[in-house]
Every structure is written in C-alpha cells, then in structure tokens.
C-alpha cells in the first residue's frame, strides 16, 4: 500500500488539462509544500525547506480542478504518493508524484462559491446516493434530508447559545 499525503500546499502554475486517447480527462497540478516559521528575534516569517511535487487528477476531478484552481492558490490536498518512472534518451528517470483524490482552495485565504458540476447536475447529483432499498455496508452513514433527530443544533434555545 502506498503512503497517503494530506497537506496544505500552493499551486506553482495553473493546472494543465489534457485528454487521453480514450478521452479521459487528466490534469497536471504542480504543487509546493513549504515550512514557514516566525523568527522570534526579527519577528519576520522565514521560508524553510520546500517540497515540490506534480499532482495528477483524473476524470471529473481533473476537469473541476482546471476550472477552479489557479497558480498561487493555497489548497488543501489529499492523495497517494507514487513514483513516476520514464526513459528519455536511454536514461531512466524517476520522481515523486501525487495521485490526487481530493483538492480544494484553503478558505482561510479565499472565498469559494460551491456549485454542482455539470455532470452532477445532469445525473441529478445522486450518483453517490445508494438506492433506497439497497443494503449499505456496515459503518456507512445514511443520507438524510434534514438533521438527525438527536442533533442538539437542529433545535434549541432561541438565544443561539450552544446546547452544552
């Protein structure tokens, strides 16, 4: 099993959207992860080590990434670390790569308006919702139209105080 990465990074270039010969969308997302720290003596933020990696997103995620994200944006990303290998001019090359499973702008530094993508709208947005009579795997939560009946935030004091 390959290691997973969850982190906050920054796009070093706009995502590049391409299509395979079988018409599957693939987006290349160049990312940089760095460690910044406050120098207590100068009270100035200093950059530490930087880890550059090329992320790859596929299919609908790739199309949404290309439409939504841009160079310089800070993102929260999860994915699987892999090693890309290729041969060029008789030389073998390798580099780390990230197979992106989810990615989103960091809302600490951006405002986002969330909407369903075109494919979700065409399918009614139900492709992840199991049919009503289908058996669910143990531990999978049931989709609900409203809050659960035992949700203390759903009802409560009218003065908007937390229910604890």
* Residues 5/79, Cβ–Cβ less than 8 Å: yes
The predicted structure's pLDDT at residue 160:
53
Residue 84: C-alpha distances to residues 13, 55, 135, 139 (Å): 20, 11, 39, 35
Is pLDDT larger for residue 44 or for residue 127? 44
Mean pLDDT of 127-147: 42
Whether pLDDT at 15 is above 50:
yes
**Which residue is associated with the tokens 């090359």?**
93
Q: Residue-wise over 142-155: b if at least 16 C-beta within 10 A, else e?
A: eeeeeeeeeeeeee
* Start-to-end C-alpha separation, the chain: 42
The Cα 76–Cα 10 span in angstroms is 9
- In the chain, the domains with their CATH numbers are 4-122 (2.40.50.140)
Q: Read off the pLDDT of residues 46-74 as tens digits, 9 standing for 90 and up.
A: 888 899 999 999 999 999 999 999 999 99
> What is the band of 128 on the pLDDT scale with cuts at 50, 70, 90?
very low
Predicted model pTM:
0.66
Give the residue ranges of DSSP H helices in the chain. Answer: 59-68, 118-122
Whether residue 136 contacts residue 104, with contact meaning beta carbons closer than 8 Å, is answered with no
Average pLDDT taken over every residue of the chain: 79
């Amino acid at each position: 099993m390959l290691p997973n990465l969850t982190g906050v990074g920054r796009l070093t270039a706009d995502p590049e959207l391409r299509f395979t010969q079988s018409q599957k969308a693939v987006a290349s997302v160049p990312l940089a992860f760095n460690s910044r720290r406050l120098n207590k003596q100068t009270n100035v933020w200093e950059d530490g080590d930087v880890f550059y990696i090329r992320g790859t997103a596929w299919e609908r995620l790739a199309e949404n990434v290309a439409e939504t994200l841009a160079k310089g944006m800070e993102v929260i990303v999860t994915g699987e670390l892999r090693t890309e290998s290729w041969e060029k001019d008789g030389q073998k090359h390798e580099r780390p790569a990230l197979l992106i499973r989810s990615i989103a702008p960091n809302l600490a530094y951006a405002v986002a308006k969330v909407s369903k993508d075109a494919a979700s709208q065409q399918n009614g947005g139900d492709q992840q919702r199991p049919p009503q009579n289908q058996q669910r795997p143990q531990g999978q939560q049931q989709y609900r139209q409203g809050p659960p009946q035992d949700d203390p935030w759903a009802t409560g004091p009218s003065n908007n105080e937390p229910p604890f």
